[in-house]
Structure 1
């Protein structure tokens, strides 16, 4: 029994994900698969296109054996926190042998060289990083430039280094490797070179298209869901149609414009500075720009600076409406414990769960209400934030009604017992 770990968002599950799943099993020689997947809100700082249970169904129906939820305190953060939370869960299960992730470069050795620099953070590297942060660069860009300078100072020649450390999947890959090293995990990493579509491609490129392009196509026209049919498995298409029929629309950050404006209206400058990912001065731009614009897109373009990217600002707004302030997150990140929240499984996944119950460092939750039996205040706080995030997620849907509250208690994990 050899178990593959995957870190995903499946927003939505498409043909590229199916290729990655099959190829990962092939190169790792694993016969079981577990994915840790973002819940209601994703790493870009947006609500997921469809809810977490629907996305878990897509994954299980396409061959993933067990889907575990990545808590919102990690899924709505930068690549570093996102990766660390997911790796912590996979390692904590105690049954995962391999991790396979996509990357633009497809070269594990070069990704490891960079991850080692970031794990060890020498004084020389810190000097380069400080130089670029002081110059006003956003942290991801400053870090990329600092890595490039550090490698040059050591006469380490990596081809296209700036492209490597600025490509989205490479960035996540480096963070996965960092996290594995930080927690001294025995999970063996593998990488697969991304094919055809780039992560941020906004246009459809046939049967293998990026999730970004698929979402853009869906929102472009009323017929958008038909236009993406060839780029997703039949089961994904079916689940998307069911969701659309039930809720009247797919979710996106513009659906939260009034909620976000309400929160900003009730915040003073001091309250804004207490948000997790905010620095002095940005609160003034937020307050000014929200008065001048009605759409989230226009508001973010108004606030955006060289240091604050569009995605980072989206995450900040999501953190604000969920209530993730500096004090809360710093407390929760400082503790070692986590939990395993099951969203779906098949027959093989059931075998994995039984094995994990004997090996896991963390409590396993299949029935949400059982979290109250866990005697850990910080862990309970993380789970309560998860419930809040779920409730807020459904507020963004046009066919929302009061029955969409407390769904964490009402919806059971998806079970596909025929295989």
Structure 2
């Protein structure tokens, strides 16, 4: 009996936190792609800007399934906490394993042809010694917005693979700190949550009691910068170009986390690059470990609904599905466990144990959804 091939769409997200703009993205991805299955690649405990996710990944998985995602897959810690090109490549590698037909992402320009032209032009990109990737991109392409930077990296990573790229219009400032109504940026919502302000008109998430903020980890950061040797600090992943000496000097002067970051930012060291380095300092992820990582060849499932479960059953013979924590390759599993321990370290001791237990739980199975 002939069976129609399913159309599978992928989206990449952090849901930090999940908000009304993400609901719009999910709805539009389904409309644009006419997909039968929607797969979401989501950052776990730590995110690409070099911060802890303000809400844990299990709560974010539940809400994504509630609002129409069929399968939530984790972007491994080490790729979720790198610059846009590494973040995008790993995301696309996972979507290729998940056999998606297309990807839909937010874009300030909302112009796929323009993003394809950047990929062609990128072959001419030359990064000068000591220059940040962001600065090199700016000199080559002009003042690109964050989602367009990610978008062209997605397209570059797709290469010749049979994955179509579609965009939806980004309608608010990516880093805007002020709420702009019911659809506001994740940055503005995090800012309000950090200040214990009401955000119920911008996000359907209600469990906001345990908030994870970078300043909560500052005592641990300061301690490690002060007690580790320069050689040990220099061995930390992304701690490059003398950053270890620079951060050691600045942390001695700082009176708070925000003060430390403001002092540490220079033309060479952007806020994001500093924060990503600090995350790897917290987890003691070394350059040696990262350089010896095997290729990403597995897919960790965080949650699914019935549609997602049926699709996973169809492809399970083709890929390495990690539907349990123990099925993750050892070196990646060690990283995820350590990241979970560090992430939970700011919780009361009784909550830490419960959180670590969640890290090794089975995927969330959603019986029904809001839509």
Fold-level similarity (TM above 0.5): yes
TM-score by length of 2: 0.93
The equivalent position to 1:228 in structure 2, one of 175, 199, 203, is: 199
Quote how far apart the aligned CAs of 1:401 are.
Answer: 4.1
Equivalent pair of 1:368/1:408 in contact (CA under 8 Å) = no
Q: Which runs of 5+ in 2 are unaligned?
A: 1-5
Q: Give 1:348's match in structure 2, choosing from 280, 299, 307.
A: 307
TM-score, L = length of structure 1? 0.83
Cα distance change, pair 288–369 in 1 and its aligned pair in 2 (3 A): same
- Segments of structure 1 that go 5 or more residues without pairing to the other structure are 149-161, 372-378
Distance 1:39 1:340 in 2: 13
Displacement after TM superposition at 1:138 (Å): 2.5
CA distance in 1 between counterparts of 2:349 and 2:255 reads 22
Which of 262, 273, 296 aligns to 2:234? It is 273
Cα 1:20–1:402, aligned 2, differ >3 Å: closer, same or farther? closer
- Would you say 1:313 and 2:263 are equivalent positions? no
Query: Aligned pairs, how many?
Result: 364
Change (3 A) 1:51 1:400: farther
CA distance in 1 between counterparts of 2:239 and 2:352 reads 33
> 1:98-139: CA deviations, max 9, x gaps?
111111000000001102222xx2xxx25xx34xx35x5422
Q: State the Cα distance separating 1:415 from its structure 2 match.
A: 1.0
1:188 aligns with 2:164: yes
Q: Conserved in 2, the CA contact under 8 Å of 1:75 and 1:82?
A: yes
Q: Paired residue for 1:394?
A: 344
Counterpart of 1:406 in 2: which secondary structure?
helix
For residues 59 and 324 of structure 1, what CA distance do their matches in structure 2 show?
A: 29
What value does the CA root-mean-square deviation take over the aligned residues?
1.8
Residue number in structure 2 paired with 1:152: none
User: CA 1:408 to 1:329, structure 2 compared with 1: closer, same or farther past 3 Å?
Assistant: farther
Pair 268,35 (structure 1): closer, same or farther in 2 beyond 3 Å:
same
The corresponding residue for 2:117 is: 113
SS of 2:316's equivalent? Answer: helix
Alignment of 1:289-300 (within 5 A): 289-300=250-261
Post-superposition shift, 1:304? Answer: 1.2
Deviation at 1:384, TM superposition (A): 1.1
Quick check: 1:103 aligned with 2:107? yes
- Which residue among 15, 21, 35 is the counterpart of 1:16? 21
Q: Compared with structure 1, are the counterparts of its residues 400 and 285 closer, same or farther at alpha carbon in structure 2 (3 Å cutoff)?
A: farther
SS for the counterpart of 1:228 is: coil
4+ aligned runs moved over 6 Å, structure 1: none
Displacement of 1:78 after TM fit? 0.6
Aligned mates of 1:279, 1:61 — CA distance in 2: 41
Conserved 8 A contact 1:105-1:193: yes
Higher helix share: 1
Cα distance, 1:179 vs structure 2: 0.9
Instruction: Pick from 118, 138, 141 the counterpart of residue 135 of structure 2.
Output: 141
TM-superposition CA deviations, 1:309-357 (whole Å, max 9, x none): 111101000011112222211221xx33421111111111111211220
Q: Which residue in 1 is equivalent to 2:3?
A: none
